[in-house]
């Protein structure tokens, strides 16, 4: 008897054993429905039987064994559903993988008990490939579900913290007015500054979680001139970074439909990053140029050259440079350049980095009307 026929004939017995094992693997406090288990585990076996009976080229076999099988189209597979429900139920990765190990072992043990294990080595290979493919689909959906809930948690945390933090900032601002000119003023100023910094970190965290959930960056577009917006932000940066000389220049037509506030946020992150990680006492150059299609904002600073890999990694979340950073900076979330990329992407543009001849330059290209 071929393995596909054997699994089909003994599916109830295989499912029963797999369901019992899954119940034994459930995390403490998690109650699984045996009925639900028996409802979708047979679908995984059916997919395996279909795979065993299908024609497979050598190239397709190699791709599957190396984890390069093309994603399935159409309705959600039983394996994907399995991974998603396991994540929602609180299973760990090891617990979910153990289910597939048990399913594989149950089939092979039962097949061996019927004296058929040695009849077809090809069936055995195909069966293991099918199990591994189902496991890969479950893991992919499991990981996506866990990541989704992680970002929902971060968003909810940021939202819930905003209320009490706003009360702290407003109270500190009122105390600033009452204590101005007294010995208490510096302490109140520190409270207000710390509260405002925490508020900015929460904004970054919420933007990050929205991006990871696929919501994207929220933009408020309107006709504006980025030359004026960037010039205003440069003046604020000069006041915030008195030890850094910031040069500004603009050329060409710089009007378009942009979210000027978000663009200024991106510029702030780029210039702050340049001041922190560039050479000490070196100037930072900010330039805005416009052509027929887009407006480009570039930030350039002197410093040690960066590799192409380092430039690409800098746009990933939770990454930051090491050189010249203060101890406090290493406690930050490291979302600055990630948010720059998200702002550029939301505008239909992109941000690129280049490092050569002792200078590092980041350029944000924004279409006029994406």
Residues of the chain with pLDDT under 70: 22-23, 25-40, 64-74, 88-90, 115-122, 125, 147-160, 162, 204, 206-217, 312, 316-335, 370
Residues 251, 196 share a domain:
no
Is 137 within the bounds of a domain?
yes
Record the pTM: 0.51
Residues 158, 144 share a domain:
no
Is 217 within the bounds of a domain?
no
Residues 64, 163 share a domain:
no
Mean of all residue pLDDT scores within the chain: 78
pLDDT at residue 340, as a whole number: 87
Nearest CA among 202, 159, 158, 195 for reference residue 174: 195
Is 97 within the bounds of a domain?
yes
- Domain tally for the chain? 3
For the stretch 19-35, pLDDT in tens is: 777 667 665 555 555 66
Residues 196, 313 share a domain:
no
| Residue whose tokens read 């560039």 | 278
Residues 293, 165 share a domain:
no
Is 346 within the bounds of a domain?
yes
Is 331 within the bounds of a domain?
yes
For the stretch 138-155, pLDDT in tens is: 777 777 777 666 666 666
Residues 327, 231 share a domain:
yes
Report the alpha-carbon angle 34-38-41, nearest 5.
125
Residues 141, 17 share a domain:
yes
Residues 25, 92 share a domain:
yes
**End of a domain among 133, 151, 169?**
151
For the stretch 199-214, pLDDT in tens is: 877 776 766 666 665 5
Is 345 within the bounds of a domain?
yes
Residues 117, 34 share a domain:
yes
Range of the domain at 124: 3-151
Residues 157, 269 share a domain:
no
**End of a domain among 127, 151, 175?**
151
**End of a domain among 190, 212, 234?**
212
Residues 129, 187 share a domain:
no
Residues 305, 246 share a domain:
yes
pLDDT at residue 120, as a whole number: 62
């Amino acid at each position: 008897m071929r393995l596909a026929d054997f699994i089909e004939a003994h599916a109830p017995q295989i499912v029963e054993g797999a369901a019992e094992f899954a119940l034994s693997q459930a995390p403490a406090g998690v109650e699984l429905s045996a009925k639900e288990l028996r409802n979708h585990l047979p679908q995984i076996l059916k997919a395996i039987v279909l795979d065993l009976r299908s024609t497979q080229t050598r190239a397709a076999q190699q791709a599957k064994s190396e984890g390069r099988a093309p994603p399935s189209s159409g309705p959600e597979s039983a394996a994907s559903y399995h991974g998603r429900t396991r994540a929602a139920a609180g299973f760990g990765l090891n617990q979910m993988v153990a289910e597939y190990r048990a399913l594989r072992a149950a089939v092979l043990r039962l097949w061996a008990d019927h004296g058929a294990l040695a009849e077809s080595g090809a069936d055995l290979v195909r069966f293991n490939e099918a199990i591994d493919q189902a496991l890969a689909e479950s893991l992919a959906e499991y990981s996506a579900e866990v990541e989704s809930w992680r970002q929902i948690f971060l968003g909810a945390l940021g939202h819930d913290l905003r209320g009490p933090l706003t009360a702290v900032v407003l109270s500190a601002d009122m105390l600033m007015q009452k204590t101005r000119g007294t010995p208490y003023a510096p302490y109140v100023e520190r409270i207000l500054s710390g509260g405002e910094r925490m508020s900015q970190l929460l904004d970054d965290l919420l933007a990050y979680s929205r991006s990871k959930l696929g919501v994207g960056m929220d933009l408020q577009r309107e006709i504006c001139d980025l030359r004026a917006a960037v010039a205003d932000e440069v003046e604020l940066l000069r006041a915030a970074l008195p030890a850094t000389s910031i040069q500004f220049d603009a050329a060409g037509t710089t009007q378009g439909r942009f979210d000027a506030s978000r663009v200024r946020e991106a510029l702030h992150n780029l210039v702050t990053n340049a001041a922190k990680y560039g050479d000490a006492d070196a100037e930072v150059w900010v330039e805005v140029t416009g052509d027929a299609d887009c407006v480009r904002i570039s930030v350039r600073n002197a410093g040690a050259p960066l590799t192409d890999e380092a430039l690409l990694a800098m746009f990933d979340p939770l990454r930051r440079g090491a050189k010249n950073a203060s101890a406090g900076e290493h406690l930050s979330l490291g979302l600055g350049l990630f948010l720059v990329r998200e702002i550029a992407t939301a505008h239909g543009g992109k941000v690129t980095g280049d490092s050569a001849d002792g200078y590092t330059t980041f350029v944000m290209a924004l279409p006029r009307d994406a």
